[in-house]
Amino acid sequence: MPTDPDSDSPLQLLFLGTGTSTGLPLTPCLTLTQPYPAEFSSHLPLPAPNSSPAKGEYNPDGEWPDTIPCACCRAAVSPDVPEGWKNKRGNTSVIVRKRRAATQAADGEEEEEGEWRNVIVDVGKTFREQSARFFPRWGVKRIDAVILTHGHADAYYGLDDLREWCFRQNCVIPVFLNRETYETVAMSFPYLVDRKKASGGGDVPALRFHIIEDDADFEVEGIRVRALPVEHGIYFQDDERKPLICLGFMFDESIIYMSDVSEIPPATWERMMDRNIPDLSAMTTFNSTNISEQPSGYDSPNRPKESPPADSKPLPLKKKVPRPLPVLIIDSLWPLVRHSSHIHLPEALRIAMRLKPSITYLVDLVHPVSHYMWHELCASVRGENGKKGCQHPDDEQARELIGRFWNDKDVKTIEGKVKKWGGRVEPGWDGLVVEVNGDGGGEEGFEVIEGKGGSGPGLAM
């Protein structure tokens, strides 16, 4: 078996996807299937007609893709829009990873750097394309564990695409999820939880499901994980309204990740504010397992449906002063429009002001707001004028959006607090790499990793 992860290794966060359940761009936008939707115009009107539109700017009389009215989807495919590739967004997903402990080199003198151990949070509908796009850049050569937030397609429909990873790695991949999500996976992919239900001669991923409580603390591949149950809309069961529970997570007390949230229960607020280090001596530790090392009598690397995996229990915590939070990743579907199962930017800002992270990254972003517009809006939150007056194709709409945002009645109630806070808020983007607890984080506790193996556009797909 490989050596254990290095407890002193920095924790890296790799943004595999930052978009909503559909992913971006959307084909109907690219094909001009319908006129610009009225619900878009209500908060992001089309720019005023321009007799001499710039390259990349919306031009209904020009050539495709300039004829695409949706700024986000147009930017995603236009070669004339700076940073346009950042509008290509997969289903929201991240990798958290640490290096294994260094090993002695063959000459006995120098230590060889340990390999990364990769834990993926959510494998949705776009997992295969996004992994092909970014794994080569990041040097991701193995998948050591998967954590699922909830039972929606954009979180787990890529589970079947883990099959080749299991075979190449010759190991069972552990999957951590709550019972409700497990039952949803079992209905959608019965052969993943019981191989006897696989038909034909097709390959089946070797997965071991670990059901965790909604308020579990556990460790996987050297990363301490705390589950943070939040509400993600409601559904009806037996004529009763029930919240859909989606799990957010805290990693190594340094990163809080909440990809899909409409409401945060008081108990979860307590768990987020109490950033204490769990008692590792009492903590269950999970690592990937070689297929040949399965317990005797195991006829499948998956636990059978009639005997689901044992539940994990919350673990005792050591009482100590909580550490400052370097990074918050938070749902923010729209800048201003409310949604039944997602928060919008004003609500995300309220959460960020309470948690006080060094930086907040927004995810689960939807069209028609382009990355440039999100960037400029976030710059206004921290009191910066951004790039006003520049020649960016989306600049006119960005100024319109900023004006509407600060004049919104919901925003007016927190405007003074937001401007006094002046926190750093930025839109996440696919391909971004952030490191915490490393040597370059400084007082903020994080740094954006550039260059080889770091942030970038990935392969053209």
111-124 pLDDT, tens digit each: 567 889 999 999 99
Indicate whether 156 and 272 sit together in one domain.
yes
Which of 394, 410, 425 is the endpoint of a domain? 425
Indicate whether 220 and 178 sit together in one domain.
yes
Indicate whether 252 and 354 sit together in one domain.
yes
Does some domain include residue 301? yes
Burial class (CB in 10 A: 0-12, 13-18, 19+), 288: buried
Does some domain include residue 457? no
Indicate whether 371 and 281 sit together in one domain.
no
Mean pLDDT of 18-44: 90
| Closest to 88 in 3D by CA, of 388, 447, 385, 459 | 459
Report yes or no: 122 and 155 within 8 Å, Cβ to Cβ.
Answer: yes
Does some domain include residue 52? no
Report yes or no: 252 and 39 within 8 Å, Cβ to Cβ.
Answer: no
Does some domain include residue 432? yes
**What is the H or E stretch that residue 402 is in?**
helix 395-407
Find the CATH number of the domain harbouring 313: 3.60.15.10
Mean pLDDT of 40-54: 83
Indicate whether 272 and 171 sit together in one domain.
yes
Sign of the alpha-carbon dihedral angle for 327, 328, 334, 335: negative
Mean pLDDT of 41-60: 86
Does some domain include residue 360? yes
Residue 201 belongs to domain spanning: 11-23+89-101+115-364+428-448
Mean pLDDT of 215-221: 95
Indicate whether 76 and 183 sit together in one domain.
no
Sign of the alpha-carbon dihedral angle for 348, 262, 336, 53: positive
pTM for this predicted structure: 0.89
Indicate whether 78 and 31 sit together in one domain.
yes
Indicate whether 214 and 288 sit together in one domain.
yes
Indicate whether 291 and 157 sit together in one domain.
yes
Query: With pLDDT > 70 as the criterion, what percentage of the chain qualifies?
Result: 84
Report yes or no: 313 and 216 within 8 Å, Cβ to Cβ.
Answer: yes
Between CA 212 and CA 172 the distance in angstroms is 18
Indicate whether 389 and 334 sit together in one domain.
no
Task: Count how many domains the chain has.
Answer: 2
Does some domain include residue 5? no
Residue 244 has a CB neighbour count (10 Å cut-off) of 17
| Closest to 85 in 3D by CA, of 432, 414, 407, 390 | 432
Does position 147 have pLDDT exceeding 50, yes or no? yes
pLDDT at 5: 60
Residue 340 has a CB neighbour count (10 Å cut-off) of 8
Could you tell me the two tokens for 173?
Answer: 């991949």
Beta partners for 360? 328, 425
Tens of pLDDT, residues 377-411: 999 999 887 655 578 999 999 999 999 999 999 89
Indicate whether 223 and 339 sit together in one domain.
yes
Does some domain include residue 128? yes
Does some domain include residue 123? yes
Tens of pLDDT, residues 287-309: 555 444 332 222 333 333 333 44
Query: With pLDDT > 90 as the criterion, what percentage of the chain qualifies?
Result: 66
Indicate whether 341 and 402 sit together in one domain.
no
Residues 6 or more apart whose Cβ sits within 8 Å of residue 270: none
Between CA 414 and CA 429 the distance in angstroms is 26
> Half-sphere exposure of residue 397, counting CA atoms within 13 Å on the CB side?
27
